[in-house]
A and B are shown apart, each in its own frame.
Chain A
Amino acid sequence: VCCTAGGLDCSISFISHVLGKVCVHGRQKEILSVLVPRLTALTQSDCIWQRICWRLVECVPERWLEAVLLGFVQGAPGADVLSRLLGNLVVKNKKAQFVVTQKVLLLQYCHKTEVLQNLLGYLALDSVRRTLLIKVLQDLLETWGSSSAVKHSPLEQQLYISRAILICLSLLKQPEIESCRQELLMAMMEGVKCHLDSNLPQIRRLGMVVAESISSRINTDGPVLKFQYEEDGETRELKSLLMQTPPSSAVPSLLDHDRKDMTDSVLPSILETDKKSPTAAAMKLDEELDAELDSDDDLIPYDMSKDKELTTKAPVYIRDCMEVLTASGSEDVDKWEAAVKVLESLIRKNPAATKEVSVELAKILLHLEEKTCLEGFVELRQRAQVAVLTTDPIPVVKFLTSQFYSLNYSLRQRMDILDVLVLSAQELSCPKSHRKMKHSGAQTPGIQLLPESNSSKDWRKIVDERIKSKTRRFATGRSQVELVSGPNEFSAVAGHFFFPLLQHFDRPLTTFDLLGEDHLVLGRLVHTLAALMYLAVNTVAVTAMGKALLEFVWVLRFHTDSYVRQGLLSCISSILLSVPTEHLLEDMTEELLETQSWLGDVVEKDPDGDCRRLALHNLLLMENLKKKLSTTPS
């Protein structure tokens, strides 16, 4: 097939048929890996070979065209090569057009970035095909911007579509973008809204990057949309796709932006220093200094050792701190800052004094807002709250959980309550000696639950951590102090932490609707419950908690938000790990069976990859527990 040099009148359609049949049977790679390079070389300069190639592909019967096309698109080393090989096939053949513009871009998402670049570059290289490119961009934007797609399609597909959008943007010339500016703008606005609504940070970031790119292309002069997000490999890669080669019109506009920013921010500090005079003047001054060195030496300095940095005195009593923090008006801001910084240590040093004012202090801290630009304010406040909670758990927990469901708190405050509850629970469930070591260093909780929590927990990691914290290491050689064990302080209060949070979740308030709009808080609540459940291991209330939590999970199991579902699955993991297995199988057999069937469903059908993985882990956990029970002697 590939070595026919002459014989231009041999039947091309026969070859097309063979090619098609081979490709449909899955042997695209083998045949095209030989064919494509030969054709590339041959069509480089020879027009006739180009025509032959086009005829070759055109004659492939419709039912096999897709396989052949895909093979070509994947195998071609560049967009121009693809253009030479395929010609205007997409315009002439309906099926080819469908495959290229719809199927590859919207329905599949397994292809690599280079394939996308080749494909879209191919569309861009010919003026006839460019109309297709614009249509492709519009279709992509429609998919990108539809809220159901954002919610239900997997992350990889969304990433793929975003990449395609960015490549299209980079390939389109400025006048073309101008012509469809309005549609682009509207699509961008809608799309951004859906993306920012999502609970998963990656989707939010994707939306932000794409929106910024679109905005930078349609507003070449004037202010550009700019979001604040953390750059990482993914965003950088996406942005690099935008800065592609051809559009010479795109690059200068970006440079203009940079220049404008620079001129606005640079202060007009003109340093008019003559080049020659500094050295001359400096030398002259040095000479003068040397000459008058003697007369300066008889000024003997005084003792300046007491000259240190000025620090405001921090209050020494908790009630003083409380007074300073509640003082209204901008009185002594230095004192306020000092009070905030010193509060946590004061609370821990004076537990008796704290117990007298614990609820009031918790209230003050919950409502405390940043008065000055204090570094680490959020962390300081959180640590103080945790300190108050652990010093006097029951009243403060009652207060906080009641406030969680009250009116007129911001979402941020409610989520802060949840964070504080988890951190305190962790501290209480940890033996006292471990706590001292933790405080000396930075507070890095084993379960990351400060803002932007990572939802997926590897069950193996959890089990490992548990084993590590429980084993007593016997000293070898060096004599170590044996870790002092004490009663589990969390045991007494675990129920107080847990059950109030479950009570009112289905009762909407005017400003707070967990099951409705505020699904972000619902997601955090579910994760908090999972953490509390996990920390309640070895407490008395754990079985009751497990049962209640299973019921809670059952009610919410079909929630549309993937972050909430991930949380529910973590709850199941925590239940399986914390509740003693005998109790699980005695008290909750039916619920467990139902849960198992639900988990099986999730593994197969859930669109979110993390959810599927968590469900699989849970099923494995269940299997392991069953095996463990059956192997241990009853």
Chain B
Amino acid sequence: MARPPPDPQFVLRGTGAAVHTLHFSCGGQELDVPTLFSGSENGLIHVWNLKSHRVDRALDGHGRKSVYCVETMGTGDKLLSQGRDQRICLWDLAEGRTSVTDFVFTENVGFCRCSLLQVAQGRWLMAMASKALEEVQVLELPSKTSVCTLKPEVGAKLGMPMCLKLWQLSSGSQPLLLAGYEDGSVVLWNLSMAKALSQLGCHQEPVMSLDFDAEKVKGISGSSEKVLSIWSLNEQQNLQVYKTHNLVNAGISDITLRPDRKILATAGWDHRIRIFGWKKLKPLAVLDYHTATVHCVSFSDHKNLSERLLAAGSKDHRISIWSIYTDT
């Protein structure tokens, strides 16, 4: 007899608007408080204190336009946020400050979340959808110099890039980019040559989100249909479909793998969060708490394994925090 699914450990209320993006910052020094950053549709970034379950600070830097991507750069002091005001802002949050130190004007009116990858101490690569319809631009931060622009070939008809993921096989090796597009295909790009290495048509509908495991060179993508597609990279750097999984209800907004690569979580349009085992995509749990579409899911980066959390932000203005499978 299987156990009934767990309830959320606690629920954060108070954003006042649909939550589009979440990011944990809990692995820092002991003095730092475990923090969760959330970006909402009203343009505010809330900094949640996970000990008191309250908002510490609210950052307003996107002119009341929806914030759909939040990432930390290194420690919890530097924050990057992307909003629908076509800006990517860099924040300095050390010592209680809340100022935007720099910003990048993307000129892109889409919803594609940018992707960050730390390539060296103090240097990041950021991939973002750029002004032209099908293009992805990779910048180096904090210098904001353009590394390359990835244009699909003429007539490829990929549509807008929907989701991006920068990765490297091991630190120091060449960074690569995985991009999911509007026509349902995932393309692997080589940044140094600005060339597409492989393209795989995994879905009939736009790819809404993807995540990639660099160790096993296996990735998963979800779209607006009922199918989750798991694909892998072979020695020739070619993508191929490994497995597909059918869901009960259509629509996935977000997929994320836990840092220990044991489980993954999907955020669904049917208000449910689903947990799967990563190895064989075994369905493990369906977490049914929210009353509207779940927009984002995120795993925490706690060093203490038993404290690990899963956060889900939804259109019903709430963020649910779950503690699930923390003892493995």
By a beta-carbon cutoff of 8 Å, the part of chain A in contact with chain B is 267-274, 277-278, 280-282, 285, 288-289, 292, 296, 298-304, 306-310
Contact = CB atoms under 8 A, between A and B. Distances in A.
B32 interface: no
Contact of A306 (B185, B235, B236, B288): B288
A310 to B, nearest CB: 4
24 contacts: A268-B155, A269-B183, A269-B184, A271-B200, A272-B199, A272-B200, A278-B240, A289-B279, A296-B277, A296-B280, A299-B262, A299-B277, A299-B282, A301-B2, A301-B282, A301-B285, A302-B6, A302-B284, A303-B3, A303-B4, A304-B5, A304-B283, A307-B248, A309-B248
Interface of B is mostly: loop
A299 B157 contact: no
Contacts of A307: 248, 272, 286, 288
B264 to A, nearest CB: 12
Interface of B: 1-6, 155-157, 183-185, 198-201, 216, 232, 234-236, 238-240, 242, 248-249, 262-263, 270-272, 277, 279-280, 282-286, 288, 325, 328
B286 A299 contact: no
A285 B232 contact: yes
A296 B279 contact: yes
A300 B3 CA distance: 9
A269 B284 contact: no
Contact of B201 (A270, A301, A306): A270
Contacts of A281: 232, 234-235, 240
Contacts of A302: 2-6, 284-286
Nearest to B242: A285
B238 to A, nearest CB: 6
Most chain A CB within a 10 A radius of its CB, from B240, B282, B328: B240
B151 to A, nearest CB: 15
A154 to B, nearest CB: 51
Nearest to B155: A268
Contacts of B216: 288
Given A269-B185, A296-B280, A304-B285, 14 more contacts: A268-B155, A272-B199, A272-B200, A277-B236, A292-B279, A299-B284, A299-B328, A300-B284, A302-B286, A304-B2, A304-B286, A307-B288, A310-B249, A310-B270
Contacts of A301: 2, 282-285
Contact of B183 (A267, A278, A304): A267
A303 B5 contact: yes
A274 B201 contact: no
Contacts of A300: 2-3, 284
A301 B287 CA distance: 12
Interface of A is mostly: loop
Contacts of B199: 270, 272
Nearest to B184: A269
Contacts of A272: 198-200, 238-239
B240 A273 contact: yes
A312 to B, nearest CB: 11
A307 to B, nearest CB: 4
Contact of B238 (A274, A289, A292, A299): A274
Most chain B CB within a 10 A radius of its CB, from A267, A271, A281, A302: A302
Given A278-B240, A302-B6, A289 B234 contact: no
Contacts of A271: 200-201
Given A299-B325, A303-B5, A309 B249 contact: yes
Nearest to A293: B279
A618 B157 CA distance: 65
B282 A296 contact: yes
Contacts of A270: 199, 201
Nearest to B197: A272
A274 B236 CA distance: 8
A292 B262 CA distance: 12
Contacts of B239: 272
A277 B283 CA distance: 28
B162 to A, nearest CB: 16
B280 A274 contact: no
A308 B286 CA distance: 10
Contacts of B200: 271-272
B277 A273 contact: no
Nearest to A267: B183
A268 B156 contact: yes
Contacts of B280: 289, 296
A282 B216 CA distance: 13
A304 B286 CA distance: 6
Nearest to B287: A302
Contacts of B271: 310
A300 B275 CA distance: 11
B226 to A, nearest CB: 10
Contacts of A304: 2, 5, 283, 285-286
Given A272-B238, A309-B249, A303 B262 contact: no
B152 to A, nearest CB: 10
Contact of B328 (A267, A282, A298, A308): A298
Contacts of A288: 216
Contacts of A292: 279
Contacts of A268: 155-157, 183
A280 to B, nearest CB: 8
A269 B328 contact: no
Most chain B CB within a 10 A radius of its CB, from A271, A274, A277, A282: A271
Contacts of B284: 299-302
B325 to A, nearest CB: 6
Contacts of B249: 309-310
Contact of B157 (A267, A282, A296, A310): A267
B238 A273 contact: yes
Most chain A CB within a 10 A radius of its CB, from B6, B285, B325: B285
B236 to A, nearest CB: 6
A375 B184 CA distance: 26
Contacts of B285: 301-302, 304
A303 B288 CA distance: 12
Nearest to B272: A307
B235 to A, nearest CB: 7
A288 B288 CA distance: 33
Across the A-B interface, the 3 shortest Cβ-Cβ residue pairs: A269-B201, A303-B2, A302-B285
B326 to A, nearest CB: 11
Contacts of B272: 307
A359 B156 CA distance: 56
Contacts of A306: 286, 288
Nearest to A307: B286
A51 to B, nearest CB: 65
A513 B262 CA distance: 74
B312 to A, nearest CB: 16
B9 to A, nearest CB: 15
Nearest to A281: B234
